[in-house]
Amino acid sequence: MRLSHVISALEELYPPAWAEPWDAVGLVCGDPAQDVGRVLFAVDPVAAVIDEALEWEADLVVTHHPLLLRGVHSVAATTPKGRLVHRMITNGIALHTAHTNADRAVPGVSDALARAVGLTGELRPMVPADDDPRRGLGRIGELDEPVALREFTRRAAAGLPSTAWGVRAAGDPDRPVRTVAVCGGAGDSLLGTAQAAGVDAYLTADLRHHPASEFAEQGGPALVDAAHWATEWPWLADAERRLAGSSPEAGKLETRVSTFVTDAWTLHDEGAM
């Protein structure tokens, strides 16, 4: 399958127009005329992922996070990102990014996260898109039955890939939780939205001390904080399935989801008082 055709299929699923204005999505490197037989899906375009792509002989790597989010003036091999670009081009590996456009898609990153932590039934966006209320940022859904916050935290940890960061919660451990809001990746910008929605708990990543502390003092939803990488990883399998189902030709591609943990945090020690 031509790379241009694979990219067209991906952009049909995750249109670049849905991305935030500051984002950098789409084809990063690769010849649109080249043939693609193997596609690797990963969260981060880092050296370990490219190593995996080379070992598996992938022709295309699809990542959630951009490699070149901010403007650059050089991709010389004297920098880590420049070396990745050189390695990919030299070995005929293309790179495509679906970031905030995948966040806003339906199903998208937060849909996959919601299912991974046990939400069932219909999901609705926390912030609906202006042109389509079915899609947008974050998702709100329900558990089959109420559980204590400590149990929901345990289930979330069991449903997400293991990381050094783990899963932590702020709130009464015995608080009943049924209606839950989730946002894959850094979601502290939606704290007020979660509170206004009246949910029992809000699960996201990268929550900072002061905003979380102030939020807890207001008596709003319980907060559940997971590793950034872990909250976005469930989307990869969904993107893999959707690409395979986009056409008979795409269904013949060999695809693979990287299980290499690329979360920035690699060690956790609770310490002692």
Which class does domain 106-226 fall in?
alpha beta
pLDDT at residue 71 in the model: 80
Q: Which helix (H) or strand (E) holds 102?
A: helix 100-103
Q: Binding site: residue ranges?
A: 64-65, 103, 228, 232
Q: Where are the domains of the chain?
A: 3-102+232-257, 106-226
Q: Binding site for a divalent metal cation: residue ranges?
A: 64-65, 103, 228, 232
Same fold, 3-102+232-257 and 106-226: yes
- Rounded to whole angstroms, the Cα distance separating 107 from 168 reads 26
Give the pLDDT band of residue 270 (cuts 50, 70, 90): confident
| CATH superfamily ID and name for 3-102+232-257 | NIF3 (NGG1p interacting factor 3)-like (3.40.1390.30)
Report pLDDT digits (tens) over 186-201: 999 999 999 999 999 9
Whether the Cβ atoms of residue 49 and residue 61 lie closer than 8 Å to each other: yes
Report pLDDT digits (tens) over 117-170: 999 999 999 999 999 999 999 999 999 999 999 999 999 999 999 999 999 999
- Rounded to whole angstroms, the Cα distance separating 10 from 35 reads 16
Place of tokens 């299912």: 115
What torsion, rounded to 10 degrees, do the Cα atoms 114, 118, 123, 124 define?
-50
pTM of the entire predicted model: 0.96
